[in-house]
Every structure is written in C-alpha cells, then in structure tokens.
Amino acid sequence: MQYINFFSSVAMPFVIFIIVIYGFLEKIKIFDVFLVGAKEGIDIVISIFPTLIGLFLAIGALRSSGILDCMINFITPLLNKFNFPTEIMPLALIRPISGSSSIAVATDIMKTFGVDSQIGFLAAVIMGSTETTLYTIAVYTSSIGIKKTRFVLWASLIADFFGIIVSVFVSKMMYVG
C-alpha cells in the first residue's frame, strides 16, 4: 500500500518534469504553449456555459417537481412482473441526466439499504456501468458546435438502458450477501 501512495504522490510532479525536459530538449517555449492551451480552455468553458446552466436548471426542476416519483409509481407494476428492484429506479432514471444528482441518489440508497446490501451493491454497479448521457452529449457537442444529436442521444440512452438491465442481472448473479 505504501508503494501505491508513493507512486500516486510522485506521478504528477514526474509528468511535469518530463514535459519540462522534453520542452527544453526540443527548444519549445513551454510557458507560451501553456498560455495558449489555457486560453483555449477558457474559450471552451465560455462556449458550453449556457448549456450547463440549462442542464442544471432542468435537473433541479425534475428533482423538486416530483415527476420522478410519479414515473416510478407508474411503472412499478411492470417492474414487479419482471422482478426488477424498484428501489434503484430513482438512480436508473437520474443517472443519464446528472452525475452529481446520481451520486446523491446512490448515496441515499446506500444510507437507506446499506452498502453491503444487494440494493447497495446494485447501485454501485449501476454507477460504474452507466454514463451521464445527456450531460456528456450536451457538453461535448456544444463545445464543438454540433446541433443534431438525435441519433447519438438514442444510441446512448439505449446503451444506458442495457447497462442498467445487465447491472441488475449480473448483480443478482454475483451478490453474495
């Protein structure tokens, strides 16, 4: 364990040292290149800022309106027929939308059911096997100016759907409680 701590402490300074040495050997003005990269980074942040504001507003409205509870209550009979755990449905619905909200939901699930429970185990597997699809698509496509994301959105949501289904299946097979 001490080796891991040592290497994690030394990794970034070592990378910076390698960059400085490479720049020195290739006669590159490292600080000037850094400033250009930092300026480009700020330009990207400014270009995606409106998208982020819109996403955060939509997520806040979705969480506080009670729509998630209505959706879960509506599909619970169907989920019960397939022996799908309804306790993870808030996580399954919010995970494609927001990473921070899904972390909060997963934490709440683990506080309620315990981290060693099958539901807690399943929540952890879902967090690791799915992506914050809408956030990722919005940020990356808006940063490079893509407007038509219809097919990307559908493909990503289908991948998230199957990621959740497979997570439930694998978690039921692998859980040793």
Reading the chain (177 residues) residue by residue, the pLDDT tens digits are 688 888 888 999 999 999 999 999 999 998 999 999 999 999 888 887 887 788 778 777 877 888 888 888 899 999 889 889 999 998 998 898 888 888 888 998 999 999 899 999 999 999 999 988 888 888 888 778 887 877 888 898 899 999 999 999 999 888 876
Q: Where are the beta strands (DSSP E) in 35-104?
A: none
- The per-residue b/e assignment along 54-71, b for 16 or more CB within 10 angstroms, e otherwise, is ebeeebeebbeeeebeee
Q: Are 123 and 107 in contact (CB under 8 A)?
A: no
DSSP label of 87: G
Q: Where are the domains of the chain?
A: 2-174
